[in-house]
Amino acid sequence: MFTTSFLPIVLILLSPLTAAIKFTLPPSKIPAEKCIWNAAHLHALVIVTANVGPGPNQRIDIEIIDSTPQRNVYLSKKDINGETRLAVTAHAEEEVGVCFRNYLSADTRAEMASNMTRTIDLDIDIGADAVDYNAIANQESLSGLETEMRKLEGIVKEIVDEMDYLKKREERFADTNISTNQRVQKFAWFTLASLVCLGVWQIFHLRAFFRRKYLID
Specify the range with the lowest mean pLDDT, choosing from 112-126, 151-165, 166-180, 191-205: 151-165
79: left (phi over 0), alpha (psi -120 to 50) or beta: left
Cβ atoms 86, 64 nearer than 8 A: yes
Q: Quote the pTM value.
A: 0.63
Check if CATH label 2.60.120.680 holds for domain 19-131.
Answer: yes
Please report which confidence band the pLDDT of residue 7 belongs to, taking 50, 70 and 90 as the band edges: very low
Write out the DSSP string of 22-66. Answer: EEEE--BSSPPPEEEEEEE-TT-EEEEEEEEPP-TTEEEEEEEEE
pLDDT confidence of residue 150: 77
